[in-house]
């Protein structure tokens, strides 16, 4: 759970351009609105040559996609690229609808604003508990490095009605639904403060 910004990605873009190497971003988890931008790279100002998408693309149905620059697209012929999650007509129709919904500027703005608020709340939890080593993220994708086992905190969360994930032995992964409002976020933050502080 690390946010890559233009200070890292800008020089990387320069190196790949200079050496004629394709710059590929994997946005399977962080893309499609999760950061408050349709694509996470938009926050950095660095555009990749290839971009992978999947998890939210078809609303839970199996589908993946690869977006490529015009230069790369010109080198691909039918049959060159295959996929196990290419999507039939039903899944493609669902993906079209999901993409339309996720690209709604008002939804993306709400994710950015509520995500900034959530980040402030997570920082407060970290300061008050003394049990959080680092907090990283943006929008509705956050990682909290905790002192104790992340699994132990997650188990306590289940008992309190909070679902979270791990991203390593000591990292909690916080991924609220993109439509979550401030009241629901506040409820989740209160539970998180309680289970981390124990």
Which token pair is 85? Answer: 């999650």
Which token pair is 31? Answer: 């893309």
pTM summary value: 0.90
Task: Enumerate residue ranges in the chain where pLDDT < 70.
Answer: 82-87, 198
Q: Quick one: what percent of the chain has pLDDT higher than 90?
A: 78
Rounded Cα distance, 96 and 88, in Å: 12
Domains of the chain in start order, with CATH, are: 6-102 (3.40.640.10), 106-197 (3.90.1150.10)
Is residue 147 within 8 Å of residue 121, measured between CB atoms? no
Alpha carbons within 13 A on the beta-carbon side of 129: 24
């Amino acid at each position: 759970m690390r946010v890559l910004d233009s200070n890292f990605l800008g020089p990387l873009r320069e190196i790949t351009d200079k050496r004629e190497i394709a710059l590929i971003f994997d946005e399977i988890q962080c893309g499609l609105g999760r950061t408050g931008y349709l694509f996470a790279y938009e926050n950095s100002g660095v555009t990749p040559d290839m971009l992978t998408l999947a998890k939210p693309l078809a609303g839970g149905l199996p589908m993946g996609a690869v977006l490529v620059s015009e230069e790369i697209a010109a080198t691909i012929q039918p049959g060159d690229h295959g996929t196990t999650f290419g999507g039939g007509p039903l899944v493609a129709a669902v993906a079209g609808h999901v993409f339309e919904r996720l690209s709604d500027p008002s939804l993306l703005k709400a994710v950015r604003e509520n995500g900034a608020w959530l980040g402030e709340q997570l920082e407060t939890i970290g300061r008050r508990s003394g049990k959080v080593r680092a907090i990283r993220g943006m929008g509705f994708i956050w990682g909290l490095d905790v002192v104790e086992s992340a699994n132990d905190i997650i188990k306590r969360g289940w008992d309190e009605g909070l679902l979270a994930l791990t991203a390593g032995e000591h990292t909690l992964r916080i991924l609220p639904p993109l439509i979550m409002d401030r009241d629901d976020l506040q409820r989740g933050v209160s539970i998180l403060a309680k289970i981390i502080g124990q």
